[in-house]
Structures are given as C-alpha cells and as structure tokens.
Amino acid sequence: MKKPDDADLPETPDTEGGPGTQPASLDELDMDSRSTMRPMATQAVFRPEFDDSDDGTFGGGDTEPQNLATIATRMLSPIRRLGGGLVEIARVPERDPLTALMTNPVVAEQKRFCWNCGKPVGRSSSDGHALSEGWCPHCGSAYSFLPQLSPGEIVADQYEIKGCIAHGGLGWVYLAFDHNVNERPVVLKGLVHSGDAEAQVIAMAERQFLAEVTHPGIVKIYNFVEHDDKHGNPVGYIVMEYVGGTSLKQARGTRLPVAEAIGYMLEILPALGYLHSIGLAYNDLKPENIMITEEQLKLIDLGAVSKLNSYGYLYGTPGFQAPEIVRTGPTVATDIYTVGRTLAALTLNLRTRRGRYVDGLPSEDPVLDTYDSFGRFLRRAIDPDPRRRFRSAEEMSSQLLGVLREVVAADTGSPRPGLSTVFSPSRSTFGVDLLVAHTDVYVDGQVHSEKLTAQEIVRALPVPLVDRTDVGAPMLVASVLSQPVHTLDQLRAARHGAIDAEGVDLSESVELPLMEARALLDLGDVAKATRKLDDLATWAGWRWQLVWFRAVAEMLSADYDSATKHFTEVLDTLPGELAPKLALAATAELAGTADELKFYNTVWSTDNGVISAGFGLARAQSVAGSRDEAVQTLDQVPPTSRHFTTARLTSAVTLLSGRSTGEITEQNIRDAARRVEALPDSEPRVLQIRALVLGTAMDWLADNTASSNHILGFPFTEHGLKLGVEASLRALARVAPTQSHRYALIDLANSVRPMSTF
C-alpha cells in the first residue's frame, strides 16, 4: 500500500468520535495509513513468530443508553480520595445494570469497517440504503453490525441476555443475568469476530489463561462459553464481571485536571504491575477501558491481554499503542507507553490526523507550560526508544506520585512533602546563613563572604539510595561510616578482599564503586572520583546514579554547563524527584544564571522541609528586586524548623540591607524590628541584627520623618535611636572575641551616644 503524504493531510483537533480496538497486519506498519481504514479502534497487529481484544466500554457505546437511575445502597462519603489521599473526586454512585442497556443498538455508519481487511463497509449507497450485514466488497468476508444475541436468549443454559451495552471492534457487548449465581449481572463479549471460525477455536483455547487473573483493579473473568449465532456458527464468548460506573472517556468531558488524571493512573498502575508480574501485557490501555466505580477503578476489558513477548495478532489502539510492538511483541515497555498516551489524552489538547491521535506531544500546551515535571514524565513514558522508558509500573508509579505532589502543591498553595524511594533526604543545608553572615562583622570585626560554594552544596545535597538488590548492599549497610575517610578505608578493604564472608563476589557490585566515588567527592578529590566513575561506566553501562555523581564532580570543578546538562538528564529520568531540581537550582546560582532558579520555587512549594530551597528562593527573589516576595518566602519557614530563627533574622536583613535610605520606608524598618523583637536576646545573632535595624532607622531618620512609636524598646526619635544603637553596641562589645574588637565597638558606641547634660 502506498503511504499517503502526511504533508497533504490537515491536522484536526481531537474529537470524541475517536478510535476503538482494532487489528492491523505486519505489512501495514504505517499506522497512519491503517487508520484511514479503521480510525482509532483497538487493532490487531500481527507479529510473526520469526520476528523476535477488542475494545468496548461497558455502560456506553454507539447509541445513547437509557437515563441512569441511582440505586440506594449504604451510606458512603460523597468524596473519594485518590493518589495517596492527595486528590479528591466525587464518588460515582452505584447504578442499576439495566439502566445501562441501549434502547436502539445501532452502529453508526462512520464506525463500520470490515473485521478482516479494515476497509469501510455497510455505508450508504447511491440510493441512500446502508446494509447492516452483508459481504465486504473488498475481501469478500461476511460482516454484521446487528446484535447476535437477543434479549431473553439463554447462553450456555445459564446466562440470560438482557441487551446490548456497548459495541467494539469485535462486536457487541451484552449484559446478562447469571441464573446459577443469584441472578448476578455479567457481561458477555465475543473473543474474535464471528466470521472467522478457525480463529474461534484458537481463541477459546488461548484465552483460558485469563481466568487465572485475580486483582481488585481488574475485571473478573467468570467463564468461557460457546453459543451458535443466527447462522448456526459457534461463537466464543468471554463471561466477565459487570462493572457499573463511568469510563474515564465518559467522565472526562473535554480535559481532566492534571491532578485528577494522575490520581486515576496511580489507581490503575498496580493492576498493570500485577499483570506484568504474571507474564502478561494489557496492550490496550486508554480512557474507555478504565472504569470508575463507586469504590474503585478497574480495567474492564481483557480482550487485548496477551503473554509478554508473544506473537500473532496483538490488539491495541493506534494513537495509544507503542510503535515498536510489531517488532518486540508485547512488553512492559509497550504497556508503559500506553499509560503515557492515556495520561496525555486525558489532560492535553492532542491533535488527531485521519481519525487517530498524532504521536508525540503538542509543541505548545498550557498544561505542559504550567507543570514542567508532568511534561518530563510524559516524554519519558512515550520515548520512542523503549529502553529509555520507565522500567516497570512500580517505578512509574513512584515517579508519578512525586509529580502529583508537585502538581497538588502548585494548585493548592500548600506543600505536599513525601519521602523519595531513590534519594536520601538532604544531608544538611546550604546557603542558609549567607545573608545574615555579613552582619557577623559586628561580632568579630571580620568580613564574611556572602557567596555560595560548591563544596557546601555537595555536602548538603541528597544522595542516591543504595540499591538493596546489589550484591554489595549488605556490606554497605553494615559498615559505611559517617566520615568519608573511614568509608573509603572500609570500601578499599572490601575491594581487595573481593569475596565476602558469605562467598559473594563483591567485584560484581555497582554500589561499592559508586559509594567510593561519593566519598571521594565529599573529600573534594574530583580527579579520583571521575576516574572511578569512568571505570565503572565501562562495564556497568548507563545508570542515572553514575550521571548524578558525574554532575556533582562537574559542579565541584566549576564546569557548570556540563553539571546542568547531567543533572537535567537525571531529572528527565526521575521527573518526580526533588533532588535533581535542587541541584539544578544550586548550579544555576553558582553560575550566576537564572535559567534553573525556578526549581527553587518548585522544591520549596512542594516540601517546605527542604530549607535550602526556601533560602535559595528568597535570595533569587531578592536579587530580582522582589524583596517583599523574598520576605514572604522566609516567613514560610515553619516554626518547628531549627532554622526558623535564621529565617526571621534573614528577612529583617532582606528588608534593609543593600538599600539606600531613599528606598527604605518606615514600614520596612518596623517590619524588620517586629521580626527581631519576636526573638529572645539569647538567640545567636539577635544582638547584631538589633544593632543593624536601629542603626538603619537612625540613618533613615536623618532624611525622613516618622511616628514616635517605640521600636525595639526605644522611641523612634533621633535621641531614642541613638540610645538604642549605643546599647546594642555595648552589648556586642561584652561578647566580642578579641580585646581589639571590643575596644572598637565601645569607641563606636561612644561616638553615637546622644549628648547628655549634667
């Protein structure tokens, strides 16, 4: 088939009349061409053995169902929480299954395609008549879009058909009541198209494994049965649990809020992880295959489920299906791809072409502009190279939860901290004392640097957690010490021993050389650490931990461009982590650029326990001229933090330091004084900041007028402020570390004391 020129095909906005589950053959690798015949349905891609099911939503379809009625059951909260309790959604009420029946089950003409060749059939002829059943004029296969089971019909002497509730690529989906189990509502769905008798036999045998699938997030399989169609041909049906509720496609309207969509995916990922753990791939994740019930979310269609790395007809939906599946067969990576595409479809304005979603992400979308980490998550999930995607549903879930914390924090303005599964907490803080440190000149007479250093940052940054599956992990847990020198001694002894006491070959450990490189970097030995990382990369291959420590080495070497590149690589791999964002912000501050300083804001708004980010954000805001915003940031440091006092003092300095008296207002001075006055004199640096505030007020009053209300216990007058400055300087002199500086402070106090008369 000749491939159409994409340039000649206009892009159209996404519409709800999108694809369902459909097949495509190996010679139709051009999915765009394929979609012109069968737009956005779940399709079977044939993977031959040498090259090493069908979609329908329950409770909705081509014809509108009857009005839904709510069944009164037990009292439940109208609100449900998803995503670890971070997201609230309205609870979907339980509904009477009979209300999901279609009143007039008809397949719209534009959705009629041949099950065998995929070309349009059953369309209106010149006389305006459209056949609902007949023979395909292209390949001669029989087709029928009429229900094969009628209300009241009994299947397998057990299931009484009530009617149709949906239509998909493999035919109608029926609601039935199970006479053998207390009239339990069930769903019957064809295994393959009824026109393929040989495939019926094969499908009945191959799909038996689905009965062993047991997970609360996956629809239950009850039975496999056969029933003759109207022509006497046996048709295989899968009997499934009826799941009442609303599909995500029905619930979303146009687009879902990002937090809500993530919450849904976090509920579904454990089900995918379960399938992968038993050697199965779901293959056809999309909004219409995810059902929201009264109490949980469920995958409702197992028609496309297959064994990992299998071959033959593989079902999936163009626009959601991974492009490499015809080569690799179903893999964890191909399922991961569908999660990314489903999230994108739920939240972004995806473009469509010829009835299917266009691959990739929009070049411009306000959602991606607003939620940077969410965009990074999607890009990794749908990376064209399956090796670069998330390695498992569990890893994906962990990162997605981190992204959700950022999204909810941004939406609500309240931090949503959480523990990382791959990084330690910050080992210390950096930059906390920078602004107040220059006031130490009052105490010791020495000028103190206000610049951030790479060494200070490296000692404080989080570090990758030890992989507990590594052969060297037990030794690291048992022997790594707090001092880098002692750690190196232990690691070198282990390396020379090679075999530990239990006979484990430690030479195969990746974590031991990584820990050695970390200790060397903590000691500032960048050259040895870099050689260690280079040696490890030659046999261990690419690992994000290697990239992280390489970036740390480059930061210490003042190669900030390379450090930024590698920290960004880690962030693209782990978009839900705060550690690389903190590292990028600190690197940008060292380099004197503002490109990555936005990450200070992301980290601080998500977790106000990362104190370094709060002080870093305040510095960035102050440099940008937003002193009021900087003060607000510092005021957000919680009182429970041991850095609360430093934050209060820093905000006072921020209000006054580095500004001329013409830029300062009386309100600035009083705000600074109020912050200092709230702290006891016994707190470190309170005396020197008192001196700064009173001295600034005295200088300001020389050119301005103010109310005489007291400030820090002294009248806001020339006489009162001079008394205050004198008292502060004499208090500092009493704690001065040297005699010379004590005399200097006393001389200064004498120079500012007001004139007195006897």
Catalytic residue among 54, 55, 62, 284: 284
Residue pair 565/427 in contact (Cβ under 8 Å)? The answer is: no
Chain mean position to CA 612? 23
Q: State which amino acid sits at residue 701.
A: L
What does each C-alpha distance from 672 to 257, 405, 664, 696 come to in angstroms? 41, 33, 11, 10
186 forms beta bridges with: 176, 241
In the block, tokens 């998803």 appear at: 82
Coil/strand/helix, residue 236: strand
Three-point CA angle 510, 514, 516, nearest 5°: 125
- 30 catalytic? Reply is no
The dihedrals phi and psi of 568, each to the nearest 5 degrees, come to -65, -40
Chain mean position to CA 758? 74
Coil/strand/helix, residue 213: coil
Coil/strand/helix, residue 155: strand
Residue pair 452/430 in contact (Cβ under 8 Å)? The answer is: yes
In the block, tokens 């719209």 appear at: 108
Q: How far apart are CA 394 and CA 375, in angstroms?
A: 19
- In this structure, the dihedral spanned by the alpha carbons of residues 30, 252, 339 and 94, taken in order and rounded to 10 degrees, is -120
Q: How far apart are CA 457 and CA 585, in angstroms?
A: 11
Q: State which amino acid sits at residue 402.
A: G
- Write the burial class of residue 599 (CB in 10 Å: 0-12 exposed, 13-18 middle, 19+ buried): buried
> What does the block give as tokens for 460?
């404080």
Q: How far apart are CA 598 and CA 545, in angstroms?
A: 24
In the chain, DSSP finds a helix count (H) and a strand count (E) of 27, 21
Concatenated DSSP letters of 398-437: HHHHHHHHHHHHHHHSS------SSBPPPSS--SSSHHHH
- Write the burial class of residue 427 (CB in 10 Å: 0-12 exposed, 13-18 middle, 19+ buried): middle
Q: How far apart are CA 603 and CA 418, in angstroms?
A: 12
Strands 142-144 and 133-135: antiparallel
> What does the block give as tokens for 556?
């210490």
Q: In terms of residues, how long is the chain?
A: 758
> What sign does the CA torsion over 707, 710, 711, 715 have?
positive
What does each C-alpha distance from 658 to 139, 439, 677 come to in angstroms? 82, 12, 22
Q: How far apart are CA 582 and CA 224, in angstroms?
A: 54
Strands (E), 466-561: none
Concatenated DSSP letters of 346-377: HHS--EEETTEEPSS--SS-HHHHH-HHHHHH
Three-point CA angle 209, 212, 213, nearest 5°: 100
Residue pair 749/730 in contact (Cβ under 8 Å)? The answer is: yes
Angle, helices 627-635 vs 611-623, to 10°: value is 170
In the block, tokens 């087709």 appear at: 143
Q: Give the closest residue to 753 by CA, choosing from 687, 694, 682.
A: 694
Q: Give the closest residue to 623 by CA, choosing from 648, 657, 647.
A: 657
The dihedrals phi and psi of 226, each to the nearest 5 degrees, come to -120, 150
82 forms beta bridges with: 87
Catalytic sites, residue numbers: 284
